[in-house]
Amino acid sequence: MPVSDKPRIILASASPRRRDLLRRIGFSFTVEPSGVDESTISHGSHREFAMKAALAKALDVSGSHTEALVIGADTIVCIEDRILGKPSDRVEAEQMLMDLRGRDHEVITGVAVVRAGSLQCMVDAETTTVFFKNFRKETLERYLESGESLDKAGAYGIQGRGKVLVRRIEGDYFNVVGLPLDCLLRALSTFLDIKPNRERLDDLHHPF
């Protein structure tokens, strides 16, 4: 597919944060969440898992189409040898955040772009190190009361109220939100002219 062509883009994710980021850098797309069961994905490293999960999601959705670019993504929060998913309740969210308190951890997002029909694909991953504050119990309680932690991997959202827990980051801020835009644009550049989107990315601001 020449980079001058403009195929339909499908986001294989229901994440409102990913939808928002794609729109902010100028993409038009439709949303078709994947039904992949991530627990069945075999892997060695955390990075490998994120990449395999992203590709599995993109392939799952691309199978229903003959011509489109399908974007799959999977974000995980890692501390030492553990992967922290979304907490099942407030108690688990509190435990996760206490485990992260005063420490650094990694956020890894796998990104896959699949051309439906040909199944040509590009797969990559981005890693950002996040350093948490040694926050007070009162700060944690106020954050848990907001309810924001319950639908977030690692039990926090850096783009929302969860930023009060974060001291600093090393790497791509948008990766921690859930979609590493620079990584995604590199993958999409195989299929599209992404210069206008790159310019919009350069104009985006964030708190870290």
Catalytic residues: 74
Write the single-letter amino acid at 58. Answer: A
Q: Is 56 helix (H, G, I), strand (E, B) or coil?
A: helix
Count the Cβ atoms, other than its own, within 10 Å of residue 29: 16
Phi, psi of 45 (to 5 degrees): -85, 165
Q: Which DSSP state fits 61?
A: H
Would you give the DSSP letter of residue 39?
Answer: G
Helix, strand or coil for residue 88? coil
Amino acid at 43: H
- What is the DSSP code string of 5-40? ----EEE----HHHHHHHHHTT---EE------GGG
Return the DSSP state at 68.
-
Residue 86 one-letter amino acid: K
